Amino acid sequence: MKRVLTGAVVAAALLVSVQARAQGSVTLYGIIDTGVDWESQAAKAPGQTSASGSAIRMTSLSSALPSRWGLRGKEDLGSGLNVIFELESGFAPNSGALQNGNRLFGRSAWVGLEAPYGTVRAGRQINMTYIALMKSTVLGPALYSLAALDPYLPNSRSDNTLSYFGELHHFVLGATYSTGRDAASAAGSSAVNGGAAFNPGATNCPGGVAGNSTACRQITALAGYWGQQLGLQFVYDQLRGGPGLLPGSVSYDPSMPLLLSSSSAKTTRYMVSGYFQLGDFALRGGAIHRMTTTTTDYQTNIYYGGASYMLKPDVELDGEISRIATSDQKNANYYVMRATYFLSKRTSIYTMLGFMQNNSRASYSVGAGNYTVAGAKQTGVLFGIQQRF
């Protein structure tokens, strides 16, 4: 009996130890980031011919960064091999609603193996376009950012994805392969697309079509050099169309409500970008060419460049200029400045100033996800606060 009790105590101690190790390898993290945004010449919906007036609102999709919380874990298997995972959920701090197509873990949900020669992951994850963009823009996925010119860029994630990423002597190589790029859809009252409303985070393309391996497929690839002071990278990104999630519906392009009704319809991007870092000063920029092929071809070119400077240990200044030119002459210039004051290592307050200069055909809003009218010269001002945990 004594041996049984001793064995039970030892087993319980081992179990507690294993659980403690497992708990110790899991990290809870997150960002709560919200602000108040004012924009001139605002419209209530796309296609308005005259502005409704200025608008003031609390941010939801993003402020300086999208709000999120997540769990990240790692287990050492020995010999340089680790099991890793990440579950990340995006939410709107102004309402508490889920983001990323109303998914609990819409930002990421993957498990992988990390080894000396690279990392392999499986699940929903950011793709190589997102990774390259975060290396080459000073603003990131802010409300005032490249997201205002192309809503795909801050939403460049892929469902049903296998990925590889490796780095050797600052040279990097990565790729993703998705068998169904987006298995979520946003319900809407639109007469087109089977009633699915346009949502760049839920583009209605689940894939898995019998006899058609290219339906909703997405492939991205990155090759580059990431030095401490200088970096350069090239990205290839192709996504396919196909049948939608809803009965009778089809998928659409995450950049605009353009239907991709079959697997032969596709959007292909080529990006070249880089950075230069010298102490507290950084320059970042690049160019993105996009071609969407359906019954006709539609092309866009985005050029962007920005600078970031730590004026003081607790004050950072950012500025970025970008331009979009399209095959249907919907062109615009975009100017953004941001000043951030760090109250602590985890908390900051900031202000952003944006100006969108549309030509007579273009109607890009200074704030991503908002609306203005064609030809608008729109100004936006944002005040926000961010807390990391």
Domain ranges across the chain: 26-388
Cβ(75)–Cβ(82) below 8 Å: yes
Dihedrals phi, psi of 45, to nearest 5 degrees: -160, 160
Cβ(139)–Cβ(106) below 8 Å: no
The type of residue at 157 is R
pLDDT at 76: 95
User: pTM for the whole thing?
Assistant: 0.90
Instruction: With CA atoms as reference, report the closest residue to 198 among 62, 296, 101, 268.
Output: 101
Dihedrals phi, psi of 228, to nearest 5 degrees: -70, -30
3-state secondary structure of 5: helix
Pairing of β 68-78 and β 26-42: antiparallel
| 43 DSSP assignment | B
3-state secondary structure of 98: strand
CATH value of 26-388 in 2.102.10.10, 1.10.3720.10, 2.40.160.10, 3.40.50.150? 2.40.160.10
Dihedrals phi, psi of 312, to nearest 5 degrees: -140, 170
Q: How far is the C-alpha of 293 from the C-alpha of 264, rounded, in Å?
A: 8
Q: How far is the C-alpha of 370 from the C-alpha of 376, rounded, in Å?
A: 13
Model confidence pLDDT, tens digit, residues 134-147: 999 999 999 999 99
pLDDT at 248: 86
Q: What is the mean pLDDT of each run of 10 residues along the chain (389 residues)?
A: 40 40 74 98 94 96 96 95 97 96 96 97 98 97 98 97 97 98 87 82 95 97 97 98 91 94 97 97 98 94 98 97 98 98 98 98 97 97 98
- Dmax over CA atoms of the chain, in Å, equals 89
Cβ(386)–Cβ(61) below 8 Å: no
pLDDT at 190: 73
Question: At which residue do the structure tokens 């390898």 appear?
Answer: 25
pLDDT at 203: 95
Number of Cβ within a 10 Å radius of residue 299: 13
pLDDT at 87: 98
Pairing of β 157-168 and β 171-178: antiparallel
pLDDT at 7: 44
pLDDT at 236: 98
pLDDT at 13: 40
pLDDT at 377: 98
- In DSSP terms, which residues pair with 224 in a beta bridge? 172, 233
- What are the residues whose beta carbons fall under 8 Å from the beta carbon of 385, sequence distance 6 or more? 33, 34, 35, 347, 348, 349, 350
pLDDT at 15: 37
Model confidence pLDDT, tens digit, residues 36-63: 999 999 999 999 999 999 999 999 989 9
Residue 324, sorted as left (phi over 0), alpha (psi -120 to 50) or beta, turns out to be: beta
Q: How far is the C-alpha of 179 from the C-alpha of 200, rounded, in Å?
A: 18
Cβ(347)–Cβ(386) below 8 Å: yes
Share of the chain above pLDDT 90, in %: 88
- What are the residues whose beta carbons fall under 8 Å from the beta carbon of 20, sequence distance 6 or more? none
pLDDT at 195: 80
